[in-house]
Amino acid sequence: MTVVVFVALALVAVASGGAVFRVNSMARATFALALSFVAVGGELLLLDLGYLGAVTVLMMVMEMAIMAVFMIMFMMNPAGLMPMSMLHNRRGARVIAVVTFVVLAAGSLLVPWPTRPGGPSADPTRTLGEAIMGSKMLVMMAVSAVLFATMISALVLATARGRYDRPESPARPEGEEAS
């Protein structure tokens, strides 16, 4: 069952990652990228990398939320929903992608992998969290809640009337006609 879920998440990650370059708006590309990262976070959870999986999901969802907030606040079109193309310099991008893939594949196959000194700790998630954050883990957990509340507040303040609501012309007194 784990293999089936892993393959399904891998397919979702690749398909939604590809959708980033196929959809025709920044908002849709943002949500496709968020879905791709959530699928990758799910795969990390399946590999018993709970901390990395949770951090990946939380970090990427928050990053995409920030991106959506800024699109709603600052883009000329409504929330980045106007058609656009994410493809620029296709030939150059293909060359860079192929060269990068070849270099990374060669590196993973040709570089001698180090042997592990010692065994894993009793709680690898806690060890990793302490190695990355040190004594600041509790502070970062509290700050993340504050940042999320700040983003939601900014979004609410930025869209006081709603996305499609436009100010109407002032009401005319009865009996007065438009000129």
Q: Is 81 exposed, middle or buried (0-12, 13-18, 19+ CB in 10 A)?
A: middle
The packing angle between helices 137-158 and 124-133, to 10°, is 70
Structural domain boundaries in the chain: 2-86+124-158
CB atoms under 10 Å from CB of 80, counted, come to 20
Average pLDDT over residues 28-39: 91
Q: How does pLDDT run across 112-155, given as a tens digit for each residue? A: 988 888 888 888 877 877 787 777 777 777 887 888 888 888 87
Q: How does pLDDT run across 52-110, given as a tens digit for each residue? A: 888 889 888 888 888 877 777 777 666 566 776 656 788 898 899 999 999 999 999 99
Query: How many angstroms separate the Cα of 22 from the Cα of each of 80, 83, 109, 142?
Result: 15, 11, 32, 37
> How far apart are alpha carbons 103 and 114 in whole angstroms?
19
Q: Tell me which of 41 and 133 has the higher pLDDT.
A: 41
> How far apart are alpha carbons 16 and 27 in whole angstroms?
13
Q: What is the pTM of this model?
A: 0.53
pLDDT at 37 over 80: yes
> How far apart are alpha carbons 120 and 155 in whole angstroms?
44
Residue 133 CB contacts under 8 Å (≥ 6 apart), including other chains: 140
> How far apart are alpha carbons 59 and 57 in whole angstroms?
6
